Structures are given as structure tokens and as C-alpha cells.
């Protein structure tokens, strides 16, 4: 049986890399307020760990475009035992004691990807990529696709946007998603990653920086039901697609 267990130390190493210091990952009282009996594991940390257990495309398919989609159906808890089922391009993470499916994912071929309407352009220079490589969690395999996905997710968390329900921002100034962690319970629900199959193997693509195009986060919901936040980030390297990620979070604010 293929099993795994996530720890607070893994939460700490992922937070050090990503800047995601959401209290539900470190404070039991915050996790209990969210209705959970233990600390929650970072959703992106679980997603990256699970995808790296899936099959690598055959050498002849290195130029293909891949689509990885993950859905977090239930929180993944620290110090609990989970079973991993992975076969035929699909993977599941199952709570061993209850049998609950906490995460389901799928890896498949993708069609040509289109960049989002450019609302915000950024660049991650070569020097920053090299620095982030040294901050990558040592307990997480550093495959090229996983590293780029982690870097882009980190960028999504730190890019400032206007959130109408974020009332503690002075004069309505834009704020990063990390600001929500102090005012709302934020959980990761879906992740979609599109990338060239060559990133499944080989060396980290650190030869040049990444050029980024982002759309404005899509906001749906209300203060009563919670806010769904979705953002797409498109990255190229020397004019070629490096990766596109779409991240979906749910924020529940106190009323």
C-alpha cells in the first residue's frame, strides 16, 4: 500500500518558499474555527507532491502539451495517514481511516493554450529564479514542471489586486492574496496546470527569466456564502510557453 503523512515541518518549508502563512496551517485554533480537528496541509503542497507520483510521458512525446487538473474535495490534515492511488493518468489521495477522497487529479494531453487578456504584465528575472531554486523545499522533489508551478503560484499569492471584501486595506489600495489570510479562512479548491511535456524531465529551466501575463481575479459569491477567487497566470520563456496555471480559492469572511 502506498501511503503518506504530511507534517507541520512540511507546512513550514512550503510557507518559507511560497509566503503562504495562512493561520490554518500553523495554529490549531484557526483550523478548529474552520471546522477541522488538526492543522491543514497547504493545498498546493499536496498537489505538487501527488502529481510527481504520476507517470512521465514517453520520450517521443516530449513536445506534447499536458494538462494537469486537481480538485481538493476535503481538507488534508497534518499527521493523518493517507493512501495514494495512481494509475492511467489519474491519482487520488484518500484518508486511510475514513476512506474519504480528499484530492482527485488527472493528467492528460491538452490543446493549444491561449493567454488570458493581459491585465497585468510582470517578469521574474533569471536571478530571482536562481534564488528561488535555493529556497525550494528539500522535502519536495524539484522536477522542472513542479518548480515552475510553485514559482507561479507564489507569484499569484503576492500580486496585488482589488478585493471588495478586504476592508482593512487603506483607502481601497490593491492588496495581495496573502492579506486575506489575516481576515478570512482561505482554502485551495482547484488547480489547473498546462505545460510542455519536456518539463517532466531534465534540468530546471533557469537559462532566462519568465514573462508573465495575468488576468484580473474572477470573484464570485457573497459574504454569506463565501467568495470564490480564480486567477490565471500565463508564463513564457524566450517567447515559448513555459506554463499556464489557473488557481481557484475559496475565502470565507466573518459576518
206 touches 127 (CB < 8 A): no
Domain map (residue ranges) of the chain: 3-253
CA atoms within 13 Å, Cβ hemisphere of 206: 16
Q: Write out residues in the chain with pLDDT < 70, as ranges.
A: 1, 55-60, 62, 164-173, 254-255
What span, in angstroms and rounded, lies between the C-alpha atoms of 217 and 215?
Answer: 6
Residue 147 · residue 17 · CB < 8 Å? no
Distance CA 86, CA 104 (A): 10
- The model carries a pTM of 0.92
pLDDT tens digits, 131-155: 999 999 998 988 899 999 999 999 9
- pLDDT tens profile 158-203: 998 877 666 555 556 678 888 888 788 899 999 999 999 889 877 8
Q: In a 3-state reduction of DSSP, which class is residue 104?
A: strand
Q: Given this structure, which CATH class describes domain 3-253?
A: mainly beta
d(CA 198, CA 60): 10
Q: Using an 8 Å Cβ cutoff, are 161 and 249 in contact? A: no
DSSP tag of 194? E
Amino acid at each position: 500500500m502506498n501511503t503518506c503523512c504530511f507534517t507541520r515541518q512540511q507546512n513550514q518549508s512550503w510557507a518559507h518558499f511560497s509566503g503562504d502563512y495562512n493561520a490554518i496551517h500553523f495554529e490549531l485554533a484557526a483550523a478548529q474555527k474552520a471546522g477541522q480537528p488538526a492543522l491543514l496541509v497547504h493545498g498546493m503542497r499536496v498537489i505538487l507532491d501527488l502529481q510527481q507520483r504520476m507517470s512521465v510521458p514517453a520520450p517521443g512525446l516530449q513536445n506534447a502539451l499536458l494538462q494537469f487538473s486537481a480538485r481538493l474535495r476535503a481538507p488534508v490534515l497534518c499527521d493523518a495517514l493517507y493512501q495514494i492511488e495512481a494509475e492511467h493518468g489519474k491519482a487520488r489521495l484518500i484518508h486511510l481511516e475514513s476512506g474519504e477522497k480528499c484530492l482527485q487529479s488527472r493528467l492528460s494531453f491538452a490543446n493549444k493554450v491561449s493567454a488570458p487578456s493581459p491585465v497585468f504584465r510582470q517578469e521574474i528575472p533569471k536571478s530571482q529564479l536562481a534564488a528561488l531554486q535555493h529556497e525550494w523545499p528539500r522535502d519536495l522533489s524539484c522536477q522542472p514542471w513542479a518548480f515552475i508551478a510553485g514559482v507561479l503560484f507564489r507569484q499569484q499569492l503576492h500580486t496585488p489586486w482589488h478585493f471588495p471584501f478586504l476592508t482593512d486595506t487603506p483607502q481601497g489600495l490593491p492588496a495581495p492574496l496573502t492579506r486575506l489570510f489575516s481576515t478570512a479562512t482561505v482554502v485551495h479548491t482547484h488547480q489547473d496546470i498546462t505545460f510542455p511535456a519536456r518539463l517532466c524531465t531534465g534540468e530546471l529551466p533557469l537559462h532566462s527569466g519568465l514573462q508573465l501575463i495575468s488576468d484580473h481575479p474572477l470573484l464570485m459569491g457573497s459574504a454569506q456564502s463565501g467568495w470564490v477567487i480564480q486567477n490565471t497566470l500565463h508564463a513564457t520563456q524566450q517567447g515559448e510557453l513555459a506554463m499556464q496555471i489557473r488557481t481557484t480559492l475559496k475565502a470565507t469572511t466573518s459576518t
